[in-house]
Amino acid sequence: MIFALLPLSAYGTNHIGPKTPSCGNYKVSTNEIIVGVKFPRGTYQINTFGISCSKVMGSKGLFAKFLKLKDKDPLPKPWRYLADAVGAPKFASGPGVGFRAQLITPASYQDEVSLKIDQIRTEALKSESVDNSIQTFIFQNGATQEVESKTKRSLLNALPVYKKLGFNTTNGLILVARDIDWVKQELLRNQCDNNRSIPDRPGFYYGNTCVNGNGAITSFHWESEKFNDGLDGLYFNHVIPHEYFHQIQEQLTTFGNGDFPKWFWEGSAQFFTNQAWSSWNTKSTYLEWYQHWWEDLRPDLGPNACKSATIEAMSNPRGTGTESICAYSKGQLIVELLVYTHGLEKYRSLYKANTTNDWRNFNIVFKKVTGQDLSAFYLEAQEFMTKRGW
């Protein structure tokens, strides 16, 4: 009788099931790739061997660090991925030292509405429309080549998407600021109307009054506010496209943000910014990026914080408090349903058909354009938001 020894990994961890108690679960919010291996969005159970759970778990643990690597980056030495291991993905730094990450709950957020939105965006991107606008970026005290190129990228990648979705893209002035005093100086230098009050920090659109015929988009300089998901993350890359979309809105109407419900004005900027982002960050769906944004990056305006916010509270443009600010997050869902239900053409027509400077008359405009009572749409929107966990 002949016995053959089964080959084991040099690191001695080629077993199917975990041999140690679980360290707990780790939520991966977006589809990720580590050394070429896919880690789909979902909940992972972590088991360690020869290393403490505290070194692997948490936002500063090894698993989080590995997930933040670029798709083809090598693991930091001496760590390696055990490609020949059986069962869940395993990582090891030496004999008997490592951890496994097993996907136990895949995340699936696609529903009929999000699938239709993906279809609308995909079809629009086939358009031959070309963005010919000129964007002028001014950086306070300059920037490194990487920071400058990646700051510009966020808008330059969004503009073709906005254009193909049927919006007019016009020349822009983008002020990338380290402090608000510099913004004020640049607004004066560019002959922007200085009779308006402005926020106390960058990250806003200064409306339709500058020498270029449009307004000014203001944003944080990376060196003054480094967002926690990095230069390539959604947090940093959403600011300029969001504020630029307000410039698009001004092209569609002679009125301003005070003449439309807040959920419509701000929710639209969030919704279309996410459509642009999803078009060049395809490892996750639009809806998965949405969940990542409001559950992981901005939970202060996520489902738990905004669940009780009513549509009425998110309508007054001059409203204050958390419920009003939920117009950005929860309002984005209302805009999503609006585009799903009535389409992009009617969505754009809501701006053009508005002939009064009072947001409280939006019900008249809505009925005129869509044929649906706004109150009936709000009932549908509330049901939709509840289904989405809001």
**In this predicted model, what pLDDT tens digit does every residue of 153-188 receive, in sequence order?**
999 999 999 999 999 999 999 999 999 999 999 999
Whether residue 175 contacts residue 212, with contact meaning beta carbons closer than 8 Å, is answered with: no
Mean pLDDT value of segment 46-64: 95
Asked whether the predicted pLDDT for residue 5 surpasses 50, the reply is no
Asked whether the predicted pLDDT for residue 3 surpasses 70, the reply is no
Asked whether the predicted pLDDT for residue 13 surpasses 50, the reply is no
Domains of the chain with CATH codes: 22-106 (no CATH), 112-387 (1.10.390.10)
Q: Which of 18-22, 47-51, 118-122, 217-221 bottoms out in mean pLDDT, i.e. has the lowest? A: 18-22
Q: What is the pLDDT of residue 4?
A: 37
Residue 135's pLDDT band (boundaries 50, 70, 90)? very high
pTM listed for this prediction: 0.76
Q: What is the pLDDT of residue 270?
A: 97
